[in-house]
Amino acid sequence: MRVSFERATGLGVPQIGPWVALGLAAAALTAGCGQKDSAKGAPGLPPGGMPVQVQVVKNDTIADTTEYLSVLKSRHSANINPQVEGQITKIFAKSGDRVTAGQPLLEIDPLKQKATVSSQEAARAAQEANAQLAKVSFERAKRLSEAGVISKADFDTAQSNYEAAVAQLKSLDEQVNTQKVELHYYSVSAPMDGIVGDVPVRMGDRVAVTTLLTTVDEPGALEAYIYVPVDHSRGLKIGLPVKLLNESGELLADTAVTFVSPQVDPETQTVLAKAAVPNANSQARLRISQQVRVQIAWGKHQGPTIPFLNLTRINGQYFVFVAVNEGKGTVARQKQVKIGDNVGNNVEVLDGVKPGDHLIVSGTQFLQDGAPVAEHEVSAASPPSTTKDGSAAPR
């Protein structure tokens, strides 16, 4: 009788116990169910794709604007320079004081000028006495000439001496008045009601007619000085709308161009434009010499706009998701866009999106290019609603 190797050695196929067989059957059943579920799609995901809210891109009226840096200046401002040379002996006003027209601001040493006035007045008094004597002599000569006592030549001489004395007296009167007027210049006064600016000089300083003593600015209306490059100045004209903005882009004032210079600055190659800025309120935020941003509106045009919050920036480029129907279904497509100026809470799109496109406004953080989506259109006025995980809430 032949005995098999397996039976002789005892190394045959091992016997499977009842518990092991039960485990293998359970595993096979689980694997079969998983394959069946995967064939039906991911649990919880609608057959049409991820629900998203979309907004139809529409044209909007967009202003053609250019932004410049402007300096505000008072429409009634005066630089105070002395009209005479000398040493400052008194300062009556300080920066920020409110002064009235004619109120003294500073005094330049007037002693030398006062001595000159006194000398001129003394000379005038002496000449007045000479004129009085010449008048008496002339009247005497006139009576003697009428009586035939003196000759005609003597009478003419007396008359000539009197007229010369009177003319000399008038000349001295004018010189005294001139010196008194110049003495008035040694007291520097405010030319109008206003606020005193910076006072850079000190007592004891010697000043000349070119020295800036201070400024007096009348509160109220201001002017924005706008320097427009000559290349952009062709459309510059009176009446163009102008907006004044602060550093944060907040609107400070609405105005318009009130003056356009007929000349080009040869150094900067710019054209000066001015815009009147109402600033009557005492609590106004605008100040003299303040630098502000200004936007000149050249005109308007139509163009597509989208909400700024729906832009995604990647490596310095802007992207959006749009829903595209490609026949077999609607999918999300990521498109690069080129943007322009802000239009309220929206931004102008120069390239990449056109009117009529369906802009995806919710759940974009979970989308990939080509992912199937189910559209739920929302109006531009109503913001998209999202769930806690950021996906679009179905409507």
Q: Which of 39, 9, 46 is nearest to 371 (CA)?
A: 46
pLDDT number for residue 299: 85
Structure tokens at 355: 């009117």
Q: What is the CATH number of the domain that holds 269?
A: 2.40.30.170
Q: Is residue 238 located within the same domain as residue 293?
A: yes
Please name the amino acid found at residue 111.
L
Q: Give a yes or no: residue 250 inside a domain.
A: yes
Q: Which of 196, 377, 386, 373 is nearest to 309 (CA)?
A: 386
Structure tokens at 17: 């116990």
Question: Residue-wise over 129-140: b if at least 16 C-beta within 10 A, else e?
Answer: ebbeebbebbee
- From the number of C-beta atoms within 10 Å of its C-beta (0-12, 13-18, 19+), residue 47 rates as exposed
Instruction: Please report which helix (H) or strand (E) contains residue 302, including its range.
Output: strand 291-307
Whole-number Cα distances in Å, 254 to 62, 246, 297, 393: 17, 12, 11, 41
Q: Give a yes or no: residue 20 inside a domain.
A: no
Q: Give a yes or no: residue 333 inside a domain.
A: yes
Q: Give a yes or no: residue 224 inside a domain.
A: yes
Give 249-306 pLDDT, tens digit per residue. 788 888 999 999 999 999 999 999 999 987 765 445 788 888 899 999 888 888 899 8
Q: Is residue 359 located within the same domain as residue 268?
A: no
Q: Give a yes or no: residue 297 inside a domain.
A: yes
pLDDT number for residue 194: 87
Total-model pTM: 0.53
Q: Give a yes or no: residue 29 inside a domain.
A: no
pLDDT number for residue 280: 63
Q: Is residue 107 located within the same domain as residue 210?
A: yes
Q: Is residue 170 located within the same domain as residue 89?
A: yes
Which of 169, 198, 214 delimits the end of a domain?
214
What is the C-alpha separation between 3 and 1, in angstroms, rounded? 6
Give 353-381 pLDDT, tens digit per residue. 999 899 998 888 888 888 898 888 887 65
Give 377-393 pLDDT, tens digit per residue. 887 654 444 433 334 44
Looking up tokens 């913001």 gives 383
pLDDT number for residue 391: 40
Q: Give a yes or no: residue 36 inside a domain.
A: no
Q: Is residue 230 located within the same domain as residue 314?
A: no
Q: Is residue 201 located within the same domain as residue 266?
A: no
Please name the amino acid found at residue 266.
P
Q: Is residue 294 located within the same domain as residue 306?
A: no
Distance of CA 176 to the CA centre of its chain: 53
pLDDT number for residue 385: 42
Q: Is residue 294 located within the same domain as residue 311?
A: no
- Expressed as residue numbers, the domain containing 130 is 81-214
pLDDT number for residue 288: 80
Q: Is residue 85 located within the same domain as residue 197?
A: yes
Q: Is residue 99 located within the same domain as residue 126?
A: yes
Please identify every stretch of the chain with a pLDDT value under 50, giving residue numbers as ranges.
1-45, 282-283, 382-395
Q: Give a yes or no: residue 27 inside a domain.
A: no
Which of 280, 301, 322 delimits the end of a domain?
301
Which of 256, 286, 301 delimits the end of a domain?
301
Total domains present in the chain: 3
Q: Is residue 259 located within the same domain as residue 341?
A: no
Provide the pairing of β-strand 50-56 with 373-377.
Answer: parallel
Q: What is the CATH number of the domain that holds 329?
A: 2.40.420.20
Q: Is residue 126 located within the same domain as residue 198?
A: yes
pLDDT number for residue 7: 39
